[in-house]
Amino acid sequence: MNTQKTSLDLTPFNQCLTALSDGAIGAAVSGGSDSIAMLTLLADWCAQNERNLFVATVNHNLRKEAASEAAFVAEFCAKRGIAHETLIWSGWDQQGNLQDAARNARKHLLSQWAKKNAIQTIMIGHTKDDQAETVLMRLLRGSGVDGISGIFPIEVADGLTWMRPLLEYNRQDLRDYLVSINQTWVDDPSNTETRFDRVKLRNILQDIKDAGLSTHGIMTTANNMKRARHYLENALSNAASDICQVTGAGSILIDKAKFCVLDAELRLRLVAHCLKQISGGIYPPRLNALEMVVGRLLSGQSASLNGCLLRLRVDKMIEISREPNAMSSQQGITNLFDNVWEITSAQKSSDVIVAPLGETGISQVTDWRELGFSRYALMATPAIWRKEELIAAPIAGMCNGYTCRLTWGYHEFLTSILTH
């Protein structure tokens, strides 16, 4: 790479990219200075290393400028022969927190785009400034070790690797770099709107700097919390390997006697991890809800949280399974069902509905007890319906030409505990 054109120390950027797996690389680029700097560096790196680069821009349809910003990125890519696609979000129901909804939608759209293009790694342009804002926000919200450890340079979620090669760089340094190579960018006007929490925090950080303090202390705290988080994750992985089982029906069994003697922090972490794994969700449940559910389990009571049912079985095992009422049906079998089930068939399948087996379906499968799965777990497994007629329920033993596979198992359950 030509290092004469910039005063940036490219060592952190290049070091992050050493963790890249083979195959195409994806990049999420908005057109702002951070993402354009990342794209410029990535384009050079991919050209030198003969790697295919794909770029996506998410248009949330919330600002009139969004279309022109996406066009700016598209033009940048076209000049360099880089494949670009604009992903449109049109699903906000005007309910809840807009920024949270937009973030979740963005991650979903990027995941679908990556899988469509056989991309395993998506690059995100988060910087040291984003890290400081995130840690401060979580401190103010009373987050624990995981929250205060901040953003990780590498995450694995939804079957993809999300990489942030700019976490060691300040935004201003990146802008200076772009100016030095005569590369423009677009500024998002919403970044100055104080109705958004992150903008308020950005202003607080500036006040901290004006008071003679730097963000270095915040970053040091985040790094200290990362070490603590790694320790807890390793402890949880060891505990889970000892007391947990994954069933073929997509539920998780936990030895209650051993669960009760775990450290309180590990109990909370274990249940949170199980809920994320089973539901296919991105974020863990809120701490107060999690504490209430763990309390019920310790006293032998059932509970539900994050679209999952948690109950104590007669064999003294805690079973956590998906809740059928929290699952959506889908037309045909082209996509993953409920984010975790892969269904295949040699038959024409566009006219069928995939939905949980439920009470109606399991009553039509007479020998399900011979399979060794609980009724609750089986009711949350995929079933193929044609109108009101049950066509197949592969996990329950009614195949009729369909196969069904859980996309994660015991190994993935354990390895996904650990962050990078």
**Residue 35 labeled ligand binder:** yes
**Residue 328 labeled ligand binder:** no
Q: Is the CB of residue 75 less than 8 Å from the CB of residue 183?
A: no
CA distance 130 to 164: 11
Q: How confident is the model at residue 64 (pLDDT cuts 50, 70, 90)?
A: confident
CA distance 140 to 229: 19
DSSP type of residue 223: H
Average pLDDT over the chain, rounded to whole? 89
Domains of the chain by start residue, with CATH: 3-217 (3.40.50.620), 239-323+411-415 (3.30.465), 327-408 (no CATH)
Max CA separation in the chain (angstroms):
73
What b/e string do you get for 132-147 counting C-beta neighbours within 10 Å, with b at 16 or more? Answer: bbbbbbbeeeebbbbb
> Is the model's pLDDT at 1 over the cut of 50?
no
**Residue 401 labeled ligand binder:** no
326: nearest Cα among 354, 305, 341, 310: 305
Q: pLDDT tens across 382-391, in order?
A: 999 998 899 9
**Mean pLDDT (whole number) for 149-174:** 91
**Mean pLDDT (whole number) for 163-175:** 94
Count other Cβ atoms within 10 Å, centred on residue 359: 10
**Residue 350 labeled ligand binder:** no
**Residue 280 labeled ligand binder:** no
**Residue 187 labeled ligand binder:** no
Name which of 47-51, 328-332, 392-396 the model is least confident about.
328-332
* Per-residue pLDDT at 324: 96
Count other Cβ atoms within 10 Å, centred on residue 74: 18
Contacts of 13 (CB under 8 A, 6+ apart): 41, 45, 165, 166, 168, 169
* pTM recorded for the entire structure: 0.80
Count other Cβ atoms within 10 Å, centred on residue 358: 19
Stated as kind and residue range, the H or E segment containing 293 is helix 287-298
Q: pLDDT tens across 85-94, in order?
A: 999 987 666 6
DSSP letter for each residue of 307-337: TEEEEE-TTSEEEEEE-GGGPPPEESSSS-B
